[in-house]
Structure 1
Amino acid sequence: MESEQIIIDEEKFIPHLSIDCVIFGFHGEQLKVLLPKVKNLDLWSLPGGYVLKDEDIEKAAQRILEERTGVTDIYLEQFYVFGKANRSTGETLKKILLKNNVKINNTSWVFERFVSIGYYALVDFSKVNTKIGIYDEACEWHDIHQLPNLAFDHAEITQKALETLRFMLDDKLIGLNLLPETFTMKELQILYETILDKPLRRDNFQRKILSMGILERVEKKFTGAAHKAPYLYKFIK
């Protein structure tokens, strides 16, 4: 028996406009990106979607992220608009839909030129409950340095998001969203080193962070030897 055909309701969405989200998480001393895997193809993509005609852009991005992560309290930042004239996605999209038995008119606007708004999100890895979409067979975390084969121009979008994250590292207090509520100075330094992809001098890093006035020291971390226990910190909100 043939599988059920899914018809895209084009009338609900704004034509030629999409959102692509780079979702960052930090786990096992690795900066990770959440990626869905396309059904029946050796192809991965960024979580994304279209904007409803009666929906704010920001609300659309939040909806897409919540659908993928199950998390509602997400740090979300618009970082770039991707609108090159030659960033055609039509042929790849046709292949994806064909492989998944999706019925759609070949002259539809979904196969034409798109402008995509890029957002990056910072989430607490431990709180994410990944969800798969109707065209996905998996949704998994990948090390930023070992990404699989990405569809469309999603490799370029991911790299741009990483560059923005590095540039805004101090100003946006990114650790507030990537680390648990309390953490050691060493854990914060490892996060910075992982994102920047370079080692940092311990004394210089600690001096810099403490001078910013963004941390509150809360208690000693129990290790069995009280005099060696490192302090725990949390961000001042």
Structure 2
Amino acid sequence: MNVTTELHDFIFNGHLNYVPHLSIDCAVFGFHDNQLKILLLRSKYLDGWALPGGHIQRNEHIDIAAQRILKERTGLDKIFLKQYQTFGDPDRLKTQSSQYFLNAVQIPIPPNNWLMERIVSIGYYALVEFSKATPTPDLFTEECVWWDIHQLPALIFDHDHMINLALLTLQSQLHYQPIGYNLLPDKFTMPELQKLYETILDKPLDRRNFQKKIMGLGILEKLEERKSVGPHKSPYYYRFNEKNYQEALTAGLSFGF
């Protein structure tokens, strides 16, 4: 296997630039064709797929590191990003060890290499508008693509556990913070917004009850424009009131389903 100079430098000198024993992994959610999607990367060196992730520069705030990693993978900045869990099981990488990765690159690695040590991962989840993201692989991966949350491929390490917890956290957020500003286009219909909530919660919601609750939050603005979907179905478009939406994110809300 051809080992690039960049990869060789990362393996042998990465500890000079990055914090050892600590990494970031991001569950990036998007919504497309009424499906909740998650962004995954196919590994060059391990048999499976992984969440976008990376290491933290020595003088870098962890939130800034997560934003940097996601911009590199999606081309987007100003992403809704939230830390949700730290993954510190000492056996979390043993299913496919760092040694397996280092052997796969086919260069001699000393046993005290910084990548051989235990790695604790800080988990973030992110919400992005599907159509605006440009999935881009990194140094260790062949491709970066969206997957339906219900049809995931084989994942490396403990990334299946990471995704499950990220999804549970996202579902929990629906009860105390609004969702949608980062997942839907600038304008959308009420059925489209309801479908987003139903897809995340994985259950149907009563149409009238949903509309009453969501309008009661004061975060939507009804537009004069309608979406033409048939002779008798022309729902109005809505958009989020960004100021009220951000206030609801900060203050929290009671919005049980």
Q: TM-score, normalised by structure 2?
A: 0.85
Contact 2:227 2:236 in 1 (8 A): no
| Letter paired with 1:75 | F
Change (3 A) 1:224 1:168: closer
| Aligned residue in 2 for 1:79 | 84
| Aligned residue in 1 for 2:236 | 231
Size of the aligned set, in residue pairs, is 237
Contact 1:24 1:121 in 2 (8 A): yes
Give the secondary-structure state (helix, strand or coil) at the position aligned to 1:140: strand
1:141 aligns with 2:163: no
Matches within 5 A, 1:25-174: 25-39=30-44, 41-89=46-94, 91-101=96-106, 104-174=109-179
* Distance in 2 between residues matched to 1:29 and 1:10, nearest whole Å: 43
| Structure 2 stretches lacking a partner, 5+ long | 243-257
Give the secondary-structure state (helix, strand or coil) at the position aligned to 1:163: helix
| Letter paired with 1:45 | A
| Letter paired with 1:187 | E
* Distance in 2 between residues matched to 1:176 and 1:92, nearest whole Å: 38
* Distance in 2 between residues matched to 1:26 and 1:114, nearest whole Å: 31
Deviations along 1:45-79, whole A, 9 cap, x unmatched?
01111111111111100110000001112111111
1:218 aligns with 2:223: yes
Give the secondary-structure state (helix, strand or coil) at the position aligned to 2:73: helix
* Distance in 1 between residues matched to 2:138 and 2:65, nearest whole Å: 16
| Letter paired with 2:17 | K
Q: TM-score, normalised by structure 1?
A: 0.92
* Distance in 2 between residues matched to 1:212 and 1:43, nearest whole Å: 42
* Distance in 2 between residues matched to 1:98 and 1:217, nearest whole Å: 58
Change (3 A) 1:3 1:21: closer
Give the secondary-structure state (helix, strand or coil) at the position aligned to 2:72: helix
User: Shift in Å at residue 188 of structure 1?
Assistant: 0.4
Change (3 A) 1:83 1:4: closer
* Distance in 2 between residues matched to 1:215 and 1:126, nearest whole Å: 21
* Distance in 1 between residues matched to 2:234 and 2:107, nearest whole Å: 58
Deviations along 1:123-149, whole A, 9 cap, x unmatched?
000001111111111111001111111
* Distance in 2 between residues matched to 1:37 and 1:94, nearest whole Å: 18
| Aligned residue in 2 for 1:178 | 183
Q: Percent identity of the aligned residues?
A: 49
| Letter paired with 1:108 | N
| Letter paired with 1:80 | Q
The CA RMSD measured in Å over matched residues stands at 2.1
* Distance in 1 between residues matched to 2:47 and 2:91, nearest whole Å: 23
User: Shift in Å at residue 41 of structure 1?
Assistant: 4.3
